[in-house]
A and B are shown apart, each in its own frame.
Chain A
Amino acid sequence: MAEAANGDGNAKTMTIIVTKGTLDWAYPPFILATTAAAMGVEVTMFFTFYGLSLLQKKLDLQVSPLGNPAMKMPMMGMHMGMPNIVAMLPGVEAGATAMMKNMIKSKGVASIEELREAAIEAEVKIIACQMTMDLFELKTEDMIDGVALGGAATYMEKALASDINLYI
């Protein structure tokens, strides 16, 4: 095959800046990182701001329907967006999160824990933003093993040498 040269030994590289820490937005970076790694790409993920919560040992990710009219949920026999005045009520976020987790499970979609484990197994490089760690008073001991600390220059060095750079 002509493409055989692009096998496991290829030197294609990708970086992803991970900025979001909600249950829904945790998916795109981990799906792309694990799939790219499976396709022989060397992947570096740079976690900053709310993305850092995806590195906590114990994940407790939530999804909020508040201010998110595109989030349609199964209600009253159909899929509909939740009015903000309802979404702001206590308990609604927890309910929406539970509903999303049930959907994830019933549709055979991987959990974030599972994808994160797969990323680590595939030797995806994980960098946590030192500045945000300080800002939010996060500790490395609360995070999974194998996390390297770094800043913007650390990321830039990787990004300048990479084929693909994504910001999620």
Chain B
Amino acid sequence: MADKLLDAKGLNCPLPILRAKKTLKEVPSGGTLEVLATDPGSVADFAAFCRTTGNELVESSSADGVYRFLIKHTG
């Protein structure tokens, strides 16, 4: 269970990333943020975001057109 959940379904680039960045601030260091999105571009974007900011992308999966990202706040 993630410390925080962000529902970014229906939002398009770059809103899921912007909302995730904002929400990460509310997650304590070492904690996790779960993001749900429907933008197919978010798969590559969350990977790039995490690589660049030093946050850990623990999980990236999809089911029924919903993408789920689990980010560990380490950046």
Binding site for B on A (CB under 8 A): 1, 3-8, 31, 34-35, 38-40, 107-110, 118
A40 vs B29: C-alpha distance in the bound complex, in angstroms?
16
B54 touches A110 (CB 8 A): no
Q: Interface size bucket, B side?
A: 20 to 34
Q: Say whether, besides A4-B75, A34-B18, A38-B18, A109 and B54 are in contact (CB < 8 Å).
A: no
Tell me the number of A-to-B contacts counted with CB atoms below 8 Å: 55
A8 vs B24: C-alpha distance in the bound complex, in angstroms?
12
A118 vs B20: C-alpha distance in the bound complex, in angstroms?
13
A71 → chain B, closest Cβ, in Å?
Answer: 19
Binding site for A on B (CB under 8 A): 10-15, 17-18, 20-21, 38-39, 49, 51-56, 74-75
The answer, among B20, B38, B39, B53, for a CB contact under 8 Å with A8, is: B53
B21 → chain A, closest Cβ, in Å?
Answer: 4
Residue among B17, B20, B51, B53 with the highest chain A CB neighbour number at 10 A? B53
A109 touches B52 (CB 8 A): no
A78 → chain B, closest Cβ, in Å?
Answer: 22
